[in-house]
Amino acid sequence: MSNSLPQVLMHSAPSLYKHLDAFAQIVESAVRLAGASEDEQVDLMVAVMEALNNAIDHGNGEDASKKVHLKIDIHPASITVWVQDEGGGFDPNATPDPVAPENLMNNSGRGLLMMRAFMDEVDFMPSQKGTLVKMIKYFSSKSSPSHC
């Protein structure tokens, strides 16, 4: 792990799927820099990429005039990720339950479930310009709060 922690990485791009590779490279750099375990790296990549996909698709409706913003704070015992879109916002509690019998065969709808499963904290906050998703992952190999 780098002795220069904490560090902040940021990136913004138009809401087009072709920009996901650039976001993925930044997330990969962040998890390596943080010294996350292999399992933690996978958890972080899945959750953050899902949040970015949601911002592009659901938040901004793939509107290239709107941007997706990523900020990653890397600390010795944790990593905090913010993903913000410029869309109209949503109520995460109003989304259908992806594990309800009537939703099990749906092709989509599991993103929020995965984000919550792979991160230790996930908060959805309305902002003046869209939705801000804040996710925190505590590293198990370092001093961290107890998890369920």
Write down all domains in the chain, each with its CATH number in brackets: 7-138 (3.30.565.10)
Is-cis flag, bond preceding 6, omega within 30? Answer: yes
Looking at the whole model, is its pTM more than 0.85? yes
Band (147; pLDDT cuts 50, 70, 90): very low
Q: Is the pLDDT of residue 145 over 70?
A: no
96: pLDDT strictly greater than 70? no
Within 13 Å of residue 52, how many CA atoms lie on the same side as its CB? 27
**99 and 113 Cβ atoms separated by less than 8 Å:** yes
Q: Return the higher-pLDDT residue of 148 and 26.
A: 26
Percent of the chain with pLDDT strictly greater than 90? 69
Of residues 130 and 92, more confidence is placed in: 130
pLDDT of residue 141: 65
What pLDDT digit, counting tens, does each position of 37-86 carry? 999 999 999 999 999 999 999 999 999 999 999 999 999 999 999 999 99
Residues of the chain above pLDDT 70, percent? 84
- What is the sign of the dihedral through the CA atoms of 20, 98, 120 and 142? negative
Beta sheet of 130-138, edge-to-edge order: 7-14, 67-75, 78-84, 130-138, 121-127
